[in-house]
Amino acid sequence: MLATLACVIYRTWAVALLLVALVTGCGPGGAVSDFGTVVHGGVGKTVDVPLTPGRRFSLAVEENRSAGEGWRLAALPDVKVASFISEEYRAGDGGGGVRYFVFNAKYPGTTTVTLIACERCADGRTPAGGQGGNETGKAVFRITVA
């Protein structure tokens, strides 16, 4: 009887966890629905981003995918200071939208995140015809967790 009760409890928890996963799952078009603190940047800009440990934040840049514009992360930041979660795109009105690079602030420290703007390389893909995209600038974010 004790084994049967344990099995019922296990199944109940498993079903409850599955329901939580389904309810809090990803919305259409992206893996993250909470962008946390959103910090906007752009080509040629350097932005200071002060944060506290445990804070979710997003670095946001405008992007026009229909014109072949794209952004990519130059390199991951110091993982002790900020951990990368995902990259998301949200379309706006017209042909443009916003690309979000989502992170969690970790431990006190400073790191830099550089985003690279590129023509003809939206979503990091090489355009048809084999021509690679052209870098058009950088956006720099100085992350300080205190």
Per-residue pLDDT of the chain (146 residues; tens, 9 = 90+): 555 544 444 454 443 433 333 333 333 345 778 999 999 999 999 999 999 999 999 999 999 887 788 999 999 999 999 999 999 999 987 778 999 999 999 999 999 999 999 886 655 444 444 455 688 899 999 999 99
| CATH code for the domain in which residue 77 is found | 2.60.40.2020
pTM of the model: 0.72
Does 11 reside within a domain?
no
CB half-sphere exposure, 28, CA atoms < 13 A: 1
Residue at 4 is within a domain: no
Asked if residue 20 is part of any domain, the answer here is no
Using CA atoms of 32, 99, 128, 135 in order, give the dihedral in degrees to the nearest 10: -140
Task: Show the domain range for 122.
Answer: 32-145
